């Protein structure tokens, strides 16, 4: 019964019991959707092993992933948090421009390519993280490096 989304909810319940003491606490990431989308490929570049571990644990845990994979989840959170701290420290201006542009454009990455190129350059120079789209067919330019985009608001 708890598996379906509530349809007619009238009240909410906030459960304030803390987690058991043997689970080490980890501060959650405080970025909202646009900065996270903007930094997502850099988080993927740095945290790929931890993310893959977590996804493998969840898919092998037969439905008990929320309880069994807490340790891998903590590693994922700490790694993503380190990426966001580093981007904030080195490239704050370009990062803010990019996610403000994304926020104005329905979170569509293809509308904000000029700002994204500047952010990619800054992050590559300072943090050595490169945005790579996995499974790009060989011999084709990846979609974020193409110079022309027909329908975006910033023109070709």
Q: Provide the binding-site residues for another protein, judged by CB under 8 A.
A: 6-16, 27-35, 81, 84-85, 88, 95-96, 99, 103-107
Beta carbon nearer to another protein, 51 or 88:
88
The answer to whether 76 and 47 have CB atoms below 8 angstroms apart is yes
* Residue among 30 and 156 whose Cβ is closer to another protein: 30
What span, in angstroms and rounded, lies between the C-alpha atoms of 142 and 134?
Answer: 10
How is residue 19 written in tokens? 């987690």
Residue 90 CB coordination number (10 Å): 14
Least distance CB 23 / another protein (angstroms): 12
CB of 137 to another protein, least distance (A): 26
The C-alpha atoms of residue 61 and residue 70 are separated, in whole angstroms, by 12
Q: How far is the CB of 144 from another protein (least distance, A)?
A: 20
Q: Which of 34, 32, 30 is nearest to 116 (CA)?
A: 34
Residue nearer to another protein on the CB measure, 7 or 64? 7
């Amino acid at each position: 019964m708890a598996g379906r989304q509530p349809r007619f909810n009238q009240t909410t319940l906030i459960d304030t019991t803390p987690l058991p003491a043997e689970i080490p606490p980890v501060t959650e990431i405080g970025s909202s959707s646009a900065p996270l989308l903007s930094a997502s490929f850099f988080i993927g570049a740095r945290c790929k092993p931890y993310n893959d571990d977590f996804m493998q644990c969840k898919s092998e845990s037969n439905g008990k992933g929320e309880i069994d994979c807490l340790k891998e989840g903590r590693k994922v959170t700490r790694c993503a948090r380190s990426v966001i701290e580093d981007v904030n420290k080195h490239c704050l201006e370009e990062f803010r421009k990019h996610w403000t542009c994304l926020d104005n454009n329905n979170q569509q990455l293809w509308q904000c390519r000029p700002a994204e190129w500047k952010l990619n350059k800054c992050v590559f120079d300072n943090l050595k993280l490169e945005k790579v789209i996995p499974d790009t067919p060989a011999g084709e330019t990846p979609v974020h490096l193409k110079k022309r985009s027909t329908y975006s608001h910033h023109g070709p």
